[in-house]
């Protein structure tokens, strides 16, 4: 008796829809189901091979590129000097008697100067008769020649407005050296890497992507390397914004000493202006009053005319509401300014800039303050106001005076090595044979610091939470 198969599979049923193709592509007759290796799949599934960009453009860098510059640095520190005040003034002084004022040690007040003495609404003009190391004897120009009782107190302010000398005077004047303050910041080294094993390199998986820098096409394991690179570039900017100088030197696991560096937020909090709890959208003009308080403080500083405002979404909308409130008239009416008042025109409730007093402000959203993986989940910083000015300094490498933005980055560089953004590959995969590890390591490194010059003209908008 001839032998037979108990069950003969239907060859035609299994192979009716399989036709191998010489190129990589999805066709209706070359699909193999992954479900129990079922080769009888009849319909091609609806495959979305393009990666879905559900978070949009994920990179948050760009702020420092808009308002600053990047310049080489050849030493361990960036050192600069900032001018002191031109005029002589003191505050918080004590007036013990009607004819004397207590002054700080090393004061610049001299005999013959004329000063304004003030506290609150009481102001008097006075002549400086003589001075000591810590005091001045004065006589007012008023009828009583002495200070009133309201100025014999603490917390008194004075400033020099001129001088007066008799005929035939000698040794007139008081030599005052130009004052300045020296600041410095030191670079930090930032590092990261991407690692992939040789086995994973051999197991190619194709994905069509559109990158944050505009590229598109098919990538496999290098997709992760690309994301590691743009994540590192974002961290280069975030470090310059968030970094702080360590109060006490930090020792890492290898026993090396780390000191940190001063980032933007810390520089403004230490040397600049901090405005707490802004509410520019408050009804009844209260928001505009908040803004005018900031202008009054800017007037006391450099009074730089053009400024950039980088804001989170809430504060940006509050300023839109504030400006819209100033731009309406009548019962529920809306003014269009210089625009054609057409019934078909869409109303634009977003403002990109405005002028208040003698200042111009250009407003923009700052993605760093809105992104859920950065400052978007932390409510303490609402935005920053950055002056659009420059400072003129002597550059030792160029041998000439150059203008630099108040906000700029210095990166470590020399003829032998440029550490602005270094990248190199180690391992034994991908054509590199630097060691016997069956892997490829892509390394990233940068050494940089941030210089915030004239920080007294910067404003940090904070929420007290």
Structure tokens at 11: 């060859």
Q: What is the pLDDT of residue 173?
A: 77
Residue with more model confidence, 337 or 152: 152
DSSP state of 179: P
Domain ranges of the chain: 14-47, 48-83+178-328+348-465, 89-168
Please give the C-alpha separations between residue 55 and each of 43, 68, 226, 371, in angstroms, as whole numbers.
32, 27, 17, 10
Q: What is the mean pLDDT of residues 113-127?
A: 93
Q: What is the pLDDT of residue 87?
A: 87
User: Helices H, strands E: what count in the chain?
Assistant: 7, 25
Q: Which residues contact 125 (CB under 8 A, 6 or more apart)?
A: 114, 115, 116, 117, 140, 141, 142, 161
Q: Is the pLDDT of residue 123 over 80?
A: yes
Q: What is the pLDDT of residue 347?
A: 54
Helix (H) or strand (E) holding 181: strand 180-185
Q: Is the pLDDT of residue 363 over 50?
A: yes
Cβ–Cβ < 8 Å for 292, 272: no
Closest by alpha carbon to 234, among 209, 212, 219? 212
60-75 burial, b at 16+ Cβ within 10 Å, e below that, comes to bbebbeebbbebebee
Calpha distance 317→281 (Å, rounded): 8
Residue where the block lists tokens 């407005």 = 161
**Hey, how many other C-beta atoms are within 10 angstroms of the C-beta on 460?**
22
Closest by alpha carbon to 219, among 196, 251, 253? 196
Q: What is the mean pLDDT of residues 7-20?
A: 48
pLDDT band at 55 (very low <50, low <70, confident <90, very high): low
Please give the C-alpha separations between residue 178 and each of 85, 136, 406, in angstroms, as whole numbers.
9, 22, 21
Phi and psi at residue 87, in whole multiples of 5°?
-100, 160
Q: What is the mean pLDDT of residues 313-337?
A: 71
Helix (H) or strand (E) holding 279: none
Residue where the block lists tokens 């008769």 = 129
Cβ–Cβ < 8 Å for 119, 151: yes
Q: What is the pLDDT of residue 16?
A: 43
What is the per-residue pLDDT across 282-307, written as a single tens digit (0 to 9) for each? 877 778 888 899 999 999 888 888 89
- Quick one: what percent of the chain has pLDDT higher than 90? 31
pLDDT band at 50 (very low <50, low <70, confident <90, very high): low
Q: What is the mean pLDDT of residues 137-157?
A: 92
DSSP state of 456: G
Calpha distance 259→269 (Å, rounded): 19
Q: What is the pLDDT of residue 91?
A: 92
Residues paired with 183 in a beta bridge: 80
Residue where the block lists tokens 């202008």 = 295
pLDDT band at 203 (very low <50, low <70, confident <90, very high): low
Closest by alpha carbon to 387, among 294, 463, 462? 294
Look up the pTM and report it. Answer: 0.75
Q: What is the mean pLDDT of residues 166-188?
A: 82
Q: Is the pLDDT of residue 127 over 90?
A: yes
Calpha distance 29→16 (Å, rounded): 8
Q: What is the pLDDT of residue 18?
A: 47
Residue with more model confidence, 220 or 186: 186
Q: What is the pLDDT of residue 40?
A: 43
pLDDT band at 264 (very low <50, low <70, confident <90, very high): very high
Q: What is the pLDDT of residue 115?
A: 94
């Amino acid at each position: 008796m001839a032998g037979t198969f108990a069950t003969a599979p239907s060859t035609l049923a299994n192979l009716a829809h399989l036709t191998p193709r010489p190129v990589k592509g999805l066709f209706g007759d070359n699909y193999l189901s992954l479900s129990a290796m079922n080769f009888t799949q009849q319909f091609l599934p609806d495959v979305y091979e393009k990666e879905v960009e559900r978070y949009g453009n994920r990179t948050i860098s760009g702020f420092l590129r808009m308002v600053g510059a990047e310049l080489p640095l050849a030493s361990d520190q960036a050192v600069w000097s900032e001018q002191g005040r031109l005029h002589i003034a003191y505050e918080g002084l004590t007036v013990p008697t009607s004819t004397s004022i207590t002054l700080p040690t090393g004061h610049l007040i001299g005999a013959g100067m004329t000063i304004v003495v003030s506290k609150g609404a009481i102001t008097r003009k006075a002549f400086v008769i003589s001075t000591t190391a810590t005091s001045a004897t004065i006589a007012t120009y008023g009828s009583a020649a002495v200070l009133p009782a309201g100025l014999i107190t603490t917390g008194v302010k004075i400033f020099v407005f001129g001088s007066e000398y008799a005929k035939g005077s000698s040794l007139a004047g008081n030599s005052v050296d130009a004052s300045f303050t020296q600041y410095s910041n030191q670079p930090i080294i930032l590092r990261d890497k991407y690692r992939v094993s040789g086995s994973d390199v051999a197991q190619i998986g194709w994905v069509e992507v559109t990158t944050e820098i505009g590229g598109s096409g098919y990538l496999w394991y290098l997709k992760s390397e690309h994301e590691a690179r743009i994540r590192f570039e974002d961290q280069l900017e975030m470090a310059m914004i968030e970094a702080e100088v360590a109060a006490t030197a930090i020792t890492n696991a290898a026993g090396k000493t780390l000191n940190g560096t001063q980032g933007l937020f810390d520089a403004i909090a230490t040397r600049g202006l901090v405005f707490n709890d802004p509410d520019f959208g408050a009804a009844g003009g209260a928001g505009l009053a908040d803004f005018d308080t900031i202008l009054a403080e800017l007037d006391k500083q450099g009074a730089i005319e053009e400024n950039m405002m980088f804001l989170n979404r809430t504060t940006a909308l509050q300023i839109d509401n504030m400006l819209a409130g100033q731009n309406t008239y009548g019962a529920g009416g809306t003014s269009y300014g210089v625009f054609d008042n057409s019934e078909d025109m869409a109303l634009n409730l977003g403002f990109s800039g405005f002028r208040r007093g003698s200042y111009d402000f250009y407003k923009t959203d700052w993605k760093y303050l809105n992104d859920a993986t950065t400052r978007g989940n932390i409510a303490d910083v609402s935005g920053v106001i950055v002056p659009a000015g420059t400072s003129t300094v002597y550059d030792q490498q160029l041998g000439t005076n150059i203008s630099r933005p108040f906000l700029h980055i210095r990166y470590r560089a020399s003829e032998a090595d440029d550490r602005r953004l270094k990248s190199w590959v180690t391992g034994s995969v991908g054509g590199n044979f630097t060691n016997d590890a069956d892997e490829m390591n892509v390394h990233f490194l940068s050494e940089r610091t941030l210089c915030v010059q004239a920080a007294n003209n910067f404003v940090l908008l904070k929420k007290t939470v």
